[in-house]
Amino acid sequence: MIQSAELKDLLESIRSVYGYDFTDYAEASVIRRITHFMKSNKISTVQELGKVLLKDESAFARFVLEFTVNVTEMFRDPAFYKSLREHVLPRLATYPVIKIWVAGCSTGEEVYSMAILLKEEGLLDRSVIYATDINQRVLQAARDGIYRMDLMKTYTGNYQKAGGKNAFSDYYTAKYESALIDRSLKQNVVFSIHNLAVDRSFNEFQLILCRNVLIYFNQALQNKVINLFYDSLSPFGYLALGNKESLLFSEKQKEFTDVDKREKIYRRENKNGVVKK
């Protein structure tokens, strides 16, 4: 069993050497993932793990890949995307330039789902999607936009339930056992490394999506990240969280109003505290 003290020492060493800050991630989740990594790499103690990670950058890269959660799919939770299409995109259409941040974008499925929504509503050409993640390897997979062909049936079903207006096959090209995302969906996407635990705001956005990421943070880090999102949103900008996440314990809770309570879509209030109707 990993002890809290040795876990803290390991995470502090990782932060000092590599700049990755996992110290405010939920402890039970951290221990579970570290234990799995140790078993799969035949490492018996946390001290031995520390020596391996701090001396071998390739081992650390594998550790980060396994440590960060990368479970996603296109149009995951279709009702969420349907709500975005109906309640958020009509408001975004009033902006001359639409800036969207997909934080914790993983391998890119959510990014391209967002791009498809924007394209179908005639908004993609004047939109910029900033797709960020802490993990360089999954970010490269997102840039490549190549997915397993056997997943397309599931993604097609999700797309249709989300109110898709075309044939989902219009958005990818089948090649052998892979599906290549259409180039038009990538043109307005900027992929970049960003660490929610330590990095600051880098732009002002009309919509921020950060779904199923906060559940892996402790309450202090969740609050810090919500503050980051608040500072990064334009007045009346929208924030979308995962279905197991909320603003309930955030100090910014009263600075947002519900757009879709079930789908965890919120709107930032105006700076003077007046909500735009």
- Tens-digit pLDDT profile for the chain (277 aa)? 788 899 999 999 998 888 788 888 888 888 988 998 999 999 999 999 999 999 998 898 888 877 766 668 999 999 999 999 999 999 999 999 999 999 999 999 999 999 999 999 999 999 999 999 988 889 999 999 999 999 999 999 999 999 999 999 999 999 989 999 999 999 999 999 999 988 999 999 999 999 988 888 888 899 999 999 999 999 999 999 998 898 987 999 999 999 999 999 999 997 654 444 4
Distance, CA of 172 to CA of 61 (rounded, Å): 30
DSSP 11-44: HHHHHHHH----TTB-HHHHHHHHHHHHHHTT--
Q: Are the beta carbons of 115 and 105 closer than 8 angstroms?
A: no
Q: What is the pTM of this model?
A: 0.84
- Non-local CB neighbours of 221 within 8 Å, separated by 6+ positions: 24, 25, 197
Q: Which of 155, 178, 183 is nearest to 167 (CA)?
A: 155
Four-residue CA torsion sign, 67, 202, 57, 22: negative
Helices and strands, number each (H, E), in the chain? 10, 10
* pLDDT digit string, tens, across residues 68-109: 666 689 999 999 999 999 999 999 999 999 999 999 999 999
pLDDT value of residue 274: 46
Domains of the chain: 4-67 (no CATH), 78-268 (3.40.50.150)
pLDDT value of residue 69: 61
pLDDT value of residue 275: 44
Contacts by 222-231, CB closer than 8 A, 24 or more apart: 222/249, 222/250, 223/249, 223/250, 223/251, 223/252, 224/24, 224/197, 225/196, 225/197, 226/250, 226/251, 226/252, 227/251, 227/252, 228/196, 228/200, 228/201, 229/103, 230/255, 230/256, 230/268, 231/201
